[in-house]
Chains A and B, each alone.
Chain A
Amino acid sequence: MSADASTSVNYLNHDRSIKSWLLTLDHKRIGILYLVVISLVFLGAGILALFIRLEQIAPGQDIMGPDAYNQIFTIHGVLMVFAFIIPAIPAILGNFVLPMQLGAKDVAFPRLNLLSFYLYVGGALIVLSALLVGRIDGGWTFYAPYSIRVGDSILFVTMGVFVMGFSSILTGVNFIVTIHKMRAPGLTWNRLPLFVWSLYSTAIVQVLATPVIGITVLLLFLERLLGIGIFDPALGGDPVLFQHFFWFYSHPAVYVMILPAFGIISELIGTFSRHRIFGYRFVALSSIAIAFLGALVWGHHLFVAGQSALASTVFSLLTFLIGIPTGVKVVNWVVTMHQGSIQLRTPMLYALMFLILFSIGGFTGIMLGVLPIDIHLHDTYFIVAHFHYVMVGGNVIAALGGLHYWWPKITGKIFNETLGRIAAGLIFVGFNLTFFPQFITGSRGMPRRYYDYPVEFESLNQLSTYGSWVLAAGMFLIAGYLLHSLFKGKKASANPWGSLTLEWTHTNRLPIPHNFERTPIVTRGAYDFHLAKDLFKDEPSGNGVDSHQVPDLEQEGRPEA
């Protein structure tokens, strides 16, 4: 590895023109393009969430009427689900990291990868253009028959979702082929980093489930255009069938959101516990198991929709099965930490937060899978709290952990560790303050999706709104110090965390355009930290001086020349 990477060619400086960015086939640059766009979406949809909470600060009308409220939570939901959470980890971090973790020069189909990015942008723009056409207020699920009756803006929303789905499919196909065909010599399945395993299982879900949302949207179009009578009850159609179609995609999509998060957590826990992942194979295969089991449970969204009792019972039983592979993962992570020596760096803080928050989200999910309990809690704030614990407490927290972890590789810079820890604390406190009260209001019967609520829920809702401000403060702090590090941050070393996966051990501080000077040959597993002392003994950067310590960034980094 070149000790002085600042003057050498890397993926950022080899061509600085705008065109070289917009037409790039380099998976790392495409990842950064995604990072920019998806962050903007997150900012926008997050601000909408703040408005939602602000309206809920007191009963009655505070800052907006019911109509505006309906539109805002709908746009918040559509953008967050389809344009943020689903692509966030695979498209940003997956694109950036996957080929490097495999020791490959790029993904299998780089042009498809770029196409996928532009489809995503196009889809997001089509969704946003709906705002110009008219109101969208049906919630992110656009159930029939309401979506058949309302104005044409719903066409743009569903069309945008369709196009983004296509982007998701292409990414999935690309990743599966890349993982199968592009691994470096010696990188057997048992040596793959767990992030790769999780992206693999994510891609399986993307490929298998996403086409169904395509045909669902097409049928919805035709229902509006021609009245084909498949979903419209007025014409003899069955609106519950729409829900089956919708959730056959959208429930597995939940695993598209959470599986890559599992992968990041495995990376973080392995690296910062300085220990091989306990039960590696079980953690790896449980991702695949979740991908498949996740396709069998969509009907638990239809418990009160009028589906047959038989179907409800079957779906309820199948839902419990998901708890097994998920539990396997959590237990193995905890044992890994127990056996290792934990270094509480900023990314690891997110991993710990994830364990707590995701466990709450997961357990309440099992609760909701129980038929009679779900009938009580359906469409209450309990559901809202549950899926925010999974989606934010799971996906967003893991994405933040991953972003901090790979930030030095993406930018070559180190962020401020102290601010990082403060922000992590703010986010943990703010998140729980925002969403935990909603478990209580929900179980006491406060329904979701109303701008108003009875006075008895006021104090808990106020707490929740205050929490949203703390959460937002944490997010803005992160954005602030990460952007600051771009310009003023200290230079990172090539492997600042002392990780053992290829993107850290075999690339420069900033990777070259095709990642590796020469194709790496792999002779060990991704988490063989017991070998770390030998592996790093010739490192001039001194990363492996003590294999039981994560190198100290503040001493390690040098000010930007």
Chain B
Amino acid sequence: MAQVSMTVNGKAASGDVEGRTLLSTFLRENLELTGTHVGCDTSQCGACVVHVNGEAVKSCTMLAAEAEGADVTTIEAMANADGSLSTIQQAFQDHHGLQCGFCTPGMVMSASALLKDNPTPSEAEIREYLEGNICRCTGYHNIVKAIMAASGQDVSSIAAE
């Protein structure tokens, strides 16, 4: 066991971990931040995406020890300070961009990273960016729509209720 320290959602966090402890495990088990999900073991589904030093990474494919000193943000810190949904979260609700909710934390974290780099992405750019986030429920239609809406684009011409 070795001690690891980092900043998670703006607060200092530390704990004793094994070398093999994944960042996702550290978040879920040591810090009880269970909003970050693990849906595969081959680094493909993206349910575990968090931000490390401002960049989207798959927390199941990073060792907790590698996050020593890092600034980590998880889904639990994505809402507004008063607890209301952020623009991206609200767009997901408004446009039914989630069903079972399991992939959703990763989707929101990826969407947030995308919009930081590309404030008004096209439909194709969103679909390409989401290559590493698998959703089994929505068929992506409403996720893509929600991200376009969150970026301020007019989505009224895109079919759906």
- To the question of whether A and B form a pair in one complex, the answer is no
Interface on B for A, CB 8 Å cutoff? Answer: none
